[in-house]
């Protein structure tokens, strides 16, 4: 069967057939019968939920399938398609990149599909930048988090993809009070920049 490079939107059309991919990959990549059966059952449930536009329940199930079948390319494409339909483009971009890497590792032609979808989302996704002043960056014990997820130094001052929503940016450091800021990402394509302030002394 001929395979074509598809755009991010068109790629979703092939996600409906991902159940076949996931099941075959699960059979090939896990020797644990219970995990295999669980992955197949979850995938069927997630596909049904996504068809019914119940993305808030479908996407977590697809994510669990990915955890059960780490090398599964179809599972990652299904997860990406679910996030994209849900409007969580940063999460979709992340999942497409995972699928692209997995496909590249085994020379699977779906690498082109995942790559094209990711490239398309790059132009649409919202982004957030944590601006880190040098004096703050030098504080001992400095830790930056967004909703309890650590923002590593290599991500400071960069425009990082982020889903639409509200977040809490928090800064902690030795001998300093906690500094927080609410971050609102209003829509896809939106850009927000947060400059970290010097926390007050305890």
What structural domains does the chain harbor?
Answer: 8-122 (1.25.40.10), 126-195 (2.60.40)
pLDDT at 162 over 60: yes
| Least confident range of 9-18, 115-124, 150-159 | 9-18
pLDDT tens, residue by residue, 18-60:
333 443 444 455 556 778 888 999 999 999 999 999 999 999 9
pLDDT at 156 over 60: yes
Question: What is the arithmetic mean of pLDDT over 154-183?
Answer: 96
pLDDT number for residue 3: 27
Model's pTM, two decimal places? Answer: 0.79
Widest CA span of the chain, in angstroms?
Answer: 66
pLDDT at 16 over 60: no
Question: What is the arithmetic mean of pLDDT over 125-132?
Answer: 96
Percent of the chain past pLDDT 90, that is, above it, reads 78
pLDDT tens, residue by residue, 65-107:
999 988 889 999 999 999 999 999 999 999 999 999 999 999 9
């Amino acid at each position: 069967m001929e395979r074509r490079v598809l755009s991010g939107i068109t790629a979703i059309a092939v996600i409906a057939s991902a159940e076949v991919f996931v099941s075959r990959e699960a059979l090939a990549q896990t020797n644990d019968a219970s995990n295999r059966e669980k992955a197949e059952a979850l995938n069927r449930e997630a596909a049904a939920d996504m068809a019914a536009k119940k993305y808030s329940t479908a996407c977590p199930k697809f994510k669990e399938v990915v955890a059960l079948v780490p090398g599964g390319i179809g599972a990652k494409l299904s997860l990406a398609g679910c996030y994209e339909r849900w409007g969580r483009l940063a999460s979709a971009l992340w999942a497409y990149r995972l699928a692209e890497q997995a496909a590249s590792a085994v020379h699977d032609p779906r690498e082109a599909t995942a790559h094209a979808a990711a490239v398309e989302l790059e132009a649409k996704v919202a982004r957030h930048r944590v601006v880190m002043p040098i004096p703050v960056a030098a504080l001992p014990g400095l830790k930056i988090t967004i909703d309890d997820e650590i923002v590593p130094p290599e991500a400071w001052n960069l425009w990082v993809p982020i889903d639409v929503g509200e977040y809490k940016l928090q800064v902690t450091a030795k001998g300093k009070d906690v500094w927080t800021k609410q971050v609102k990402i209003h829509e896809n394509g939106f850009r927000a920049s947060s400059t970290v302030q010097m926390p007050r002394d305890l």
